[in-house]
Structure 1
């Protein structure tokens, strides 16, 4: 039977307590979720605090299940101190990579907004929304058609400028929460240290070695992050960041791979 280790147990308790407080007692996300760097609500301490907040019970459960399944083995190997360092380095690193990419994307978005404000046209609005807010475009076809028929109407012009600015404001005020970065770091470490351990996953009808599972999962997260579907609210680059910082930290520690069959 899998025996839980002290640090993993404490992390589980803390995450559950923060979830209960945030959901039922005192909202914490507005202040402690990781906000984009260009947001006026961004604070450096959010690189740590965001790891203890979750978007719902399913989000919490999936992360804590990963911690429970893979964390104890790593803690027994490294000891509580090194495991805790690893957990926070990968979690913070995930937030840093996600924020860096978000900063670049929002800076490009701001430039697009400034260009449109200077030259507000129906074609420009369609081009902007098709690149940055397809959902808004599809939900407001009547407005787009009316603007196209009356491109010099001052009311339509101002409404279009307001819509474009709202897309930017929504982007820089969308927070990230969850321990997923640290959990993906733990998963990466497990795959590197125990590459030939066979895993039995509910959604895969056959056993798969850890090294293949981690590789496929990492590539999927990278692809999903680059694809950047606007209907996808998963922070894929945070997952990639957790795996990347796990790899870097393990190499820095000079940990030797051990093959377990």
Structure 2
């Protein structure tokens, strides 16, 4: 780890320690530190930070930490420690904010469909509780509104975990500084410029976020979090590059 910058090294260690902790604490760790939908009783304000250090499984943390390892130190050496930390945290917060926004849109859109179909508003908490316990919807959820009920429960019960939003912010900032740096994609033995490889990856995630169709990664990926993190990282770095640094530094 000698080539790693101090911040990247600290982030790697912190994420690994959190992940090891979840192996011992199990569901309690996710209940406490994952980012829950704000209407869920598990929600806590500290989760907007702690969720960035939580991961779902070994592959989830591996790919996030691999990206941080590959791009983080290069970016930190270019912009400095304080600005790197700012991008990392602000991208993580932007990711959480956009994902929660779309969770609210999904939740209240589904709620409107249910109430329009005749489900009483005071039946919703009972429906959620019953469905989470039994895995089945109550009798008043019929074929015409079962998809809305499924969407509502999914938004309510599914927590957000992972450093992906912050990592996407790092990747977006990296592209603005080193757009033409040749990168190698796994199993493809030809160099691809960073702006094409990372830009293409962003577009794949944007497609999945808009359509709900998964191309890369598991089906429960928080694609809007990836988009939010990338947009924040891009905008922050774009502003700094345009206004805060000597232009010659970016050549």
TM-score (norm. length: structure 2): 0.81
CA distance in 2, matches of 1:118, 1:68: 50
CA distance in 2, matches of 1:223, 1:60: 23
**Counterparts of 1:69-88 in structure 2 under 5 Å?**
69-88=70-89
SS of 1:208's equivalent?
Answer: strand
- Matching residue of 2:223: 236
- Matched residue, 1:19: 19
Corresponding residue for 1:185? Answer: 169
Find the structure with the greater CA-based Rg. 1
Q: Which of 229, 241, 245 is the equivalent residue of 2:232?
A: 245
Unpaired segments ≥5 residues, structure 2: 121-135
Structure 1 gaps of 5+ residues are 120-142, 144-155
The Cα shift of 1:102 comes to 1.4
1:93 maps to: 94
Task: Give 1:34 deviation, angstroms.
Answer: 1.0
Match of 2:4 in 1: 4
Tell me by how many angstroms 1:43 deviates.
2.5
Query: How is 1:35-46 mapped onto 2 (pairs within 5 angstroms)?
Result: 35-46=36-47
Using a 3 Å threshold, how does the CA distance of structure 1 residues 218 and 170 change in structure 2: closer, same or farther? Answer: closer
CA contact (8 A) 1:70 1:190 kept: yes
Do the aligned partners of residues 108 and 10 (structure 1) sit closer, same or farther apart at CA in structure 2, a change above 3 Å counting? Answer: same
Indicate if the aligned counterparts of 1:38 and 1:103 stay in contact, CA closer than 8 A.
no
Change (3 A) 1:218 1:165: closer
- For normalisation by structure 1, the TM-score amounts to 0.78
Q: Secondary structure of 1:43's match? A: coil
Query: Residue 160 of structure 1 aligns to a residue in which SS?
Result: coil
**Counterparts in 2 of 1:107-122, with a 5 A limit?**
107-118=108-119
Q: Deviations over 1:90-140 (max 9, x none)?
A: 111111111111111111011112123349xxxxxxxxxxxxxxxxxxxxx
- The answer to whether the 8 Å contact 2:91/2:230 transfers is yes
Q: How many corresponding residue pairs?
A: 224
Q: Is the 8 A contact 1:113 1:168 kept in 2?
A: no
In structure 1, the partner of 2:34 is: 33
CA RMSD of aligned residues (A): 2.6
String of CA shifts for 1:134-157, please: whole Å, max 9, x gaps.
Answer: xxxxxxxxx9xxxxxxxxxxxx94
